[in-house]
């Protein structure tokens, strides 16, 4: 079969132009969706009498046969085709002759490709949500296991205040929960059917676009044919959601990398998610966490790249948009494997409790408790802050923890210190004092875990 656009040209494309412009190696990922789109369009043609019922039946059977073949060995069906759309049309025409040439009536590759991609995005959103939930469950289970484990909380990478390790994990749970919301929004943006818009102006056959949308599982149809073929906002929405997911995974990865360093030694990651060195036999490298952190750059870059592709395009379709799928497919694939690995890696992590307990005691993380103690004795907070700062300076000079200072010393600084001050200067007391919604107290963390269990039935 000749190229879809060959009639107007005396010469074929130069081989270098083919290498640059042919996209079959990329958009073959849309093969299954393209078959669905062709079937829905053919049914609409039959309803309008452009195809007979018998003709539609033959096209439908041919597309179903190709679907089975594609599932078995897609590569065997691919030829020297410009893209997956011309490949499918070639295959149908080879089998059905002139009837195959009717299939494209009233349809353009412009509305066809964007419909294919919208279907892909909807499935991608479902797959990403599934992996997000798997990772959220891993975080939940880890938090349940370690609910009462104290852990140093940091600001500016400096020891700040003690928290529960479970509380720290659930911070990432909250991030991922927001990611699920963004994926839901991306799904809704993709769930609009553009088929029937043809090249840019609509088609001449009065095809029932609501019928087509229903056939393909869309909940809405586009309202402007020019926007329909030019629009890639729905892809930007998914790429944005993916970029935020990878930003969150990168932040988690950074902490796992830091914690697993022998210098910090808070955790050990399982052997099945670490690698060794080719020259240093003692090394155990957190490579999967590092790769996740690195791959975040690719996903963030895909969003920026597509924005740059779109920003200068006039209406309607321009060939620049062929580059969108490379970015989309890589972004989705990267997010899915990163989420899967993180969900499987977390359960392999073990905590070095003694190291963690020792670290909590350094850095004077109980200083705020001392200031708050004074506030409860009637001291204005700013004054209490200054008093506590002076106490910390003396404790540093004496190389003592705050809890090791004598009551006589504390009373020499401020007479409002009493013997009960030491009840506040323990890690458990500091954690238990944060007993409000969102706080790190065990009661509050357990309440959050209970809400999660009720919501997700884990």
Give the whole-number percent of the chain exceeding pLDDT 90.
95
Does pLDDT of 234 surpass 80? yes
Q: What is residue 148's predicted lDDT score, i.e. its pLDDT? A: 97
Q: What is residue 361's predicted lDDT score, i.e. its pLDDT? A: 86
Contacts of 1 (CB under 8 A, 6+ apart): 89, 90, 93, 94
Residue 283 banded pLDDT, cuts 50, 70, 90: very high
Does pLDDT of 12 surpass 80? no
Mean pLDDT of 216-224: 98
Task: Provide the β-strand partners of residue 275.
Answer: 285
Q: What is residue 9's predicted lDDT score, i.e. its pLDDT? A: 65
Give the whole-number percent of the chain exceeding pLDDT 70.
98
Bigger pLDDT: 215 vs 15: 215
Report pLDDT digits (tens) over 308-350.
999 999 999 999 999 999 999 999 999 999 999 999 999 999 9
Residue 435 banded pLDDT, cuts 50, 70, 90: very high
Find the helix packing angle between 381-398 and 367-376, rounded to 10°. 140
Mean pLDDT of 88-111: 97
Average of per-residue pLDDT values in the chain? 96
Mean pLDDT of 196-208: 98
Q: What is residue 6's predicted lDDT score, i.e. its pLDDT? A: 56
Pairing of strands 267-268, 192-193: unpaired
Instruction: State the Rg of the chain over Cα.
Output: 31
Q: What is residue 399's predicted lDDT score, i.e. its pLDDT? A: 94
Give CA 431 to chain center in angstroms: 32
Does pLDDT of 160 surpass 60? yes
User: Residue 420: exposed, middle, or buried by beta-carbon count in 10 A (0-12, 13-18, 19+)?
Assistant: exposed
Cα distances (angstroms) measured from residue 4 to each of 31, 90, 100, 106, 396: 17, 9, 13, 14, 79
User: Which are the catalytic amino acids?
Assistant: 156, 277
Residue 394 banded pLDDT, cuts 50, 70, 90: very high
CA torsion 239-179-268-431 (nearest 10°) is 150
Residue 8 banded pLDDT, cuts 50, 70, 90: low
Does pLDDT of 357 surpass 60? yes
The helix (H) or strand (E) run that includes residue 268 is: strand 267-268
Residue 267 contacts residue 357 (beta carbons within 8 Å):
no
Does pLDDT of 205 surpass 60? yes
Q: What is residue 3's predicted lDDT score, i.e. its pLDDT? A: 59
Closest CA to 95 of 121, 62, 125: 62
Q: What is residue 4's predicted lDDT score, i.e. its pLDDT? A: 58
SS3 244: helix
Contacts of 350 (CB under 8 A, 6+ apart): 267, 268
Mean pLDDT of 127-143: 98
Query: Which domains occur in the chain, in start order?
Result: 18-105 (1.10.275.10), 110-147+161-202+220-353 (1.20.200.10), 358-456 (1.10.40.30)
């Amino acid at each position: 079969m000749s190229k879809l656009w060959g009639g107007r040209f005396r010469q074929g494309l130069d081989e270098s132009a083919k290498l640059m412009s042919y996209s079959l190696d990329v958009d073959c990922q849309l093969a299954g969706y393209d078959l669905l789109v062709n079937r829905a369009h053919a049914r609409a043609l039959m309803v309008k009498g452009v195809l007979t019922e018998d003709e539609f039946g033959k096209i439908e059977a041919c597309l179903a046969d190709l679907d089975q073949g594609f599932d078995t060995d897609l590569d065997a069906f691919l030829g020297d085709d410009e893209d997956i759309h011309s490949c499918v049309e070639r295959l149908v025409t080879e089998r059905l002759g002139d009837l195959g040439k009717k299939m494209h009536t009233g349809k353009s590759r412009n509305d066809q490709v964007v419909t294919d991609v919208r279907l892909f995005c909807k499935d991608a959103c479902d797959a990403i949500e599934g992996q997000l939930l798997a990772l959220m469950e891993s975080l939940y289970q880890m938090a349940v296991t370690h609910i009462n484990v104290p852990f140093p909380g940091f600001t500016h990478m400096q020891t700040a205040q003690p928290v529960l390790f479970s509380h720290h994990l659930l911070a990432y749970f909250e991030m991922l929960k927001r990611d699920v919301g963004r994926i839901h929004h991306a799904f809704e943006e993709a769930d609009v059917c553009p088929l029937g818009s043809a090249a840019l102006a609509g088609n001449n056959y009065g095809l029932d676009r609501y019928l087509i949308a229903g056939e393909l599982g869309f909940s809405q149809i586009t309202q402007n044919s020019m926007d329909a073929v030019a629009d890639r906002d729905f892809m930007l929405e998914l790429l944005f959601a993916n970029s935020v997911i990878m930003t969150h995974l990168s932040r988690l990865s950074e902490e796992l990398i830091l914690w697993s360093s022998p210098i910090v030694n808070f955790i050990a990651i399982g052997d099945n998610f670490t690698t060794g060195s080719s020259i240093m036999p003692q090394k155990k490298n957190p490579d999967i966490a590092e790769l996740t952190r690195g791959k975040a750059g690719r996903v963030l870059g895909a969003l920026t790249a597509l924005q740059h592709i779109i920003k200068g395009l006039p209406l309607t379709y321009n060939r620049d948009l062929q580059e969108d799928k490379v970015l989309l497919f890589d972004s989705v694939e990267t997010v899915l494997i990163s989420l899967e690995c993180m969900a499987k890696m977390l359960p392999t992590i073990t905590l070095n409790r003694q190291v963690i307990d020792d670290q909590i005691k350094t850095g004077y993380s109980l200083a705020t408790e001392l200031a708050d103690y004074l506030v409860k004795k009637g001291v204005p907070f700013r004054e209490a802050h200054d008093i506590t700062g002076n106490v910390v300076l003396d404790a540093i000079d004496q190389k003592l923890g705050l809890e090791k200072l004598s009551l006589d010393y504390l009373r020499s600084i401020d007479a409002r210190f009493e013997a009960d001050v030491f009840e506040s200067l323990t890690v458990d007391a500091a954690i238990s004092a944060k007993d409000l919604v969102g706080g790190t107290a065990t009661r509050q963390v357990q309440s959050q875990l209970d809400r999660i269990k009720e919501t997700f039935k884990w």
